Structure 1
Amino acid sequence: MRVKKVLFIAALLFFSFNLPAQTVKAGAELTEAYLPLIRGKRVAVMTNQTGRVGDEHLVDLLIRNNVDLVGIFSPEHG
């Protein structure tokens, strides 16, 4: 009985605190991290039609940022 009370109080305390919400970013959205690393290099991209950064496709974003895009690979199925 005592163990059940302790577990109940622990669960009550655990679920009563709200952690600040964190937003999840896809890797393609972290342009400030990867653009300096790929500038001046030949780059190939593996993406599909859903590879978007905001309202812009990843390939268009790379071209707009003067990345030397030499290849685009896309899965045929999936």
Structure 2
Amino acid sequence: MRVKKVLFIAALLFFSFNLPAQTVKAGAELTGAYLPLIRGKRVAVMTNQTGRVGDEHLVDLLIRNKVDLVGIFSPEHG
């Protein structure tokens, strides 16, 4: 019985330290997927101060990539 407990605890520890295969990415970070779709189109963005891609704000990234940014909306509370 004691061996089963030790094996169970060892398995529990082993699986609790297992790292995920991929990290979670926000949609804004997937520029390769959406930039070709929005180039040359009029785009409005709903974001706040946390809308960042790396060290750059999403709005700055879009302007730098020649996206026709026509509106920026930001929620007042949250």
Give the structure-2-normalised TM-score: 0.77
Q: Check 1:38–1:14 CA distance in 2 against 1; reply closer, same or farther (3 A cut).
A: same
Give the structure-1-normalised TM-score: 0.77
Q: 1:76: how far off?
A: 0.4
Q: Gaps spanning 5+ residues in structure 2: where?
A: none
Give me the identity figure in percent: 97
- After TM superposition, the structure 1 = structure 2 runs for residues 3-14 of structure 1, keeping only pairs within 5 Å, are none
Q: Gaps spanning 5+ residues in structure 1: where?
A: none
- For this pair of structures, how many residues does the alignment match? 78
Q: 1:18: how far off?
A: 4.1
Q: What secondary structure, in the 3-state scheme, does the structure 2 residue paired with 1:18 have? A: coil
* Aligned equivalents of 1:12, 1:25: Cα separation in 2: 28
How much is the aligned-residue C-alpha RMSD, in angstroms? 3.1
Q: 1:22: how far off?
A: 1.2
* Aligned equivalents of 1:72, 1:57: Cα separation in 2: 12
Q: Deviations over 1:3-62 (max 9, x none)?
A: 999997998699489465311110000000000000010000000000000000000000
